Homo-oligomer: A and B are copies of this chain.
Amino acid sequence: MVLKRWLVGDPLKSTQAAHQRLSKTIALAIFSSNAISSVAYATEEILLVLVLAGTAAIAWSIPVSFAILFLIVILTISYRQIIYEYPDGGGAYVVARNNFGEQPALIGAAALMIDYVLTVAVSVAAGIAALTSAVPSLFEYRVALGLAAIIFMVVINLRGVRESGTFFAFPTYFGVGIIGIMVGIGSVQTFFGQAASLPPINPTTVEELTLFLILRTFAAGCTAVTGMEVVSNSVKAFRPPESRNASATMLHMSLILTALFMGITFLAYHAGIQPKTDETVISQLARLTFGTGALYYSLQIGTMLLLVLAANSAFAAFPQLASILARDGYMPRQMATFGDRLVFSNGIVVLGVIACFLLILFHGDTHALIPLYAIGVFISFTLSQAGMVRQWITKKGSHWRAKLIVNGVGAVTTGIALIIIATTKFTQGAWIVFLLISILVSMFRSIRSHYKAVAEQISLTRDHRPPLPRRNIVVIPINGVNKAVIRAVDYARSRPGEIHAVMVDVDPQSTARIQIQWAQWGCGVNLIALPSPYRSVLKSLLDYIEKILEKEPDIWVTVVIPEILPAHWWQSILHNQRALLLKTALLFTERVILTDVPFHLKR
């Protein structure tokens, strides 16, 4: 408890909730780090595919990056409309539920959840890769470093949304700033023809430069737009006027993303950079632009901070989505519980645990995780845009035709991108995502149908009448006379009614001794000695209780168990074995209620 308070801070009042809203400056840091940080790996993913077709093919990175620029523009415009239409947060789940019904909504929710988990895993892995590019000796500790980063983020997020915002704002702006400086200096150098470039290498051509390969390149580059939906899911976290602030933030984010992504791709092409296994593209570019000095190391640190903090946006979005699903009955209810720091604590912890698991499973390798990444995002993009199309058609409203066209173009564009990504990456791991989505959807459905079944079973209808009063016989099984037993007797007689102390007669001598002691200590309670030909104390007791239940089919039986609780947990093996057996045997007996009366040992 003390540890928890120290780590996450004192509880906050419900009325403080409104004050936890974010200013635009901090919101930009929190929600844009996800999208912007993808510049750290998007260009590299593009080059990694193109290089398969030889050095000449690398020129294709320019048209591909323009295609992605087009995507960014489309997404920015169409998401601004969603932000205004869904001021409570319009994730794919909400939009699809309102316009298409349950099944598409659940698919959207599952896609988003997988996407959030992968955001954490991919961003942390890439952030640690930035660190190990600069300090190769840390390479062998990358999984441990990644886990430490995730645990740190869980703690920070459990502290609550505003504090973590302040905490993350500086590093995000530092990362964006230093990458911006590199792009700026690099552009000036290139413009004046002073830019350094690498000697051309001729890698072995592995594949033909086919249309399929170019589409694969486009699919790889689509990782650049991951995270663009984050702002629209989190409109509620902004200060009023929420929608306007969110929309402005979204625009700023898109501009920064475009500048950095296009800049890096151009510079990398002009410098003739090719992907290497032991160094990231951005690290090579920084070495060429800055030389390996203080600025280079600042850039690596900035990239790392940006990436590790990008994971943080998922820590805001995932618990929010989980809580919406929980409120609708598709997730365990405790996901909707607001913690005492005004955050959905359970969702934060669950996300942290799954991301740690993924990081260990994929050995902290970015390239292994990335093929799984973009699918979920584009499923949710497409569902949101298509949902908006349907909404404009049914709801209409002012300028609905223009808005329909905007979202229509968005839906078609993201839909085509989704098909391209799914087709070209299917065998590389995308199939896992489709499998996981179907598993998650059926999990959502079975949780919901369970809660529905429970509600039907426990709900009171008009046919029911309040129950009539019933008797309650208390049974206290004892095996001796001591303070623990007397405490149980004292408790049992604190409410009037019939009490039977029962003992099992295993050894006549000790039975006689207990009966004598009982006369003094038993508080006047009746003591019954049960015969036990088979020495099974348990069986004799169960038979006795069975008989009481049979005789009066309408009473309660309370079994009051005197239990000795040791001072240390490991001592429990020396105690209460019989109490445990008794409890297990009686747990499913209707009308029998168990009550432990613990006697706490001091040593």
Contacts and interface: CB of A to CB of B under 8 A. Distances in A.
Interface of A: 11-15, 332-334, 338, 340, 447, 450-451, 453-454, 457-460, 464, 466-467, 469-472, 474, 481-484, 486-487, 490-491, 493-497, 517, 520-523, 533-536, 539, 555-556, 558, 564, 566, 571, 573-575, 577, 587-588, 590, 593-603
A534 B602 contact: no
A447 B574 contact: yes
Given A338-B535, A450-B571, A491-B472, A467 B496 contact: no
B460 A483 contact: yes
A466 B521 contact: yes
Name the residue among A467, A484, A577, A602 with the largest chain B CB count within 10 angstroms. A467
A574 B450 contact: yes
13 contacts: A14-B534, A15-B533, A340-B535, A340-B536, A457-B602, A457-B603, A459-B483, A464-B483, A467-B490, A474-B495, A491-B556, A495-B496, A496-B497
Contact of A481 (B460, B496, B555, B597): B460
A470 B571 CA distance: 31
B588 A600 contact: yes
A11 B536 contact: yes
Given A472-B494, A486-B466, A490-B470, A535 B14 contact: yes
**Copies of the protein in its oligomer:** 2
A55 to B, nearest CB: 54
A325 B13 CA distance: 58
A315 B466 CA distance: 58
A563 to B, nearest CB: 11
A592 B597 CA distance: 9
Given A486-B467, A588-B600, A595-B593, A451 B495 contact: no
Given A333-B577, A495-B497, 4 more contacts: A457-B602, A460-B482, A495-B495, A558-B595
B593 A451 contact: no
A517 B464 CA distance: 13
Contacts of A453: 601, 603
A601 B556 contact: no
Contacts of A564: 454, 458
Nearest to A591: B491
Contacts of A494: 469-472, 497, 555-556
Name the residue among A470, A495, A497 with the largest chain B CB count within 10 angstroms. A495
Contact of A496 (B496, B575, B599): B496
A469 B486 CA distance: 12
B483 A469 contact: no
A497 B450 CA distance: 37
A574 B332 contact: yes
Contacts of A556: 491, 494
A486 B468 CA distance: 11
B483 A457 contact: yes
A394 B399 CA distance: 113
Contacts of A520: 466
Given A496-B495, A556-B494, A458 B470 contact: no
Given A332-B574, A338-B535, A595 B598 contact: no
Nearest to A474: B495
Contacts of A558: 595
Contact of A486 (B460, B484, B555): B460
A495 to B, nearest CB: 4
Nearest to A471: B494
Contacts of A495: 472, 474, 495-497
The 5 closest A-B pairs by CB, nearest first: A472-B494, A495-B495, A458-B482, A467-B490, A11-B534
A459 B588 CA distance: 34
Contacts of A487: 467
Contacts of A598: 587
B600 A590 contact: yes
A460 B522 CA distance: 12
Contacts of A533: 13-15
A587 B598 CA distance: 8
A450 B535 CA distance: 26
A482 B453 CA distance: 13
A458 B14 contact: no
A495 B523 CA distance: 19
Contacts of A522: 466
Nearest to A1: B585
A288 to B, nearest CB: 53
A500 B336 CA distance: 28
A14 B574 CA distance: 25
A496 B496 CA distance: 6
Contacts of A486: 460, 466-467
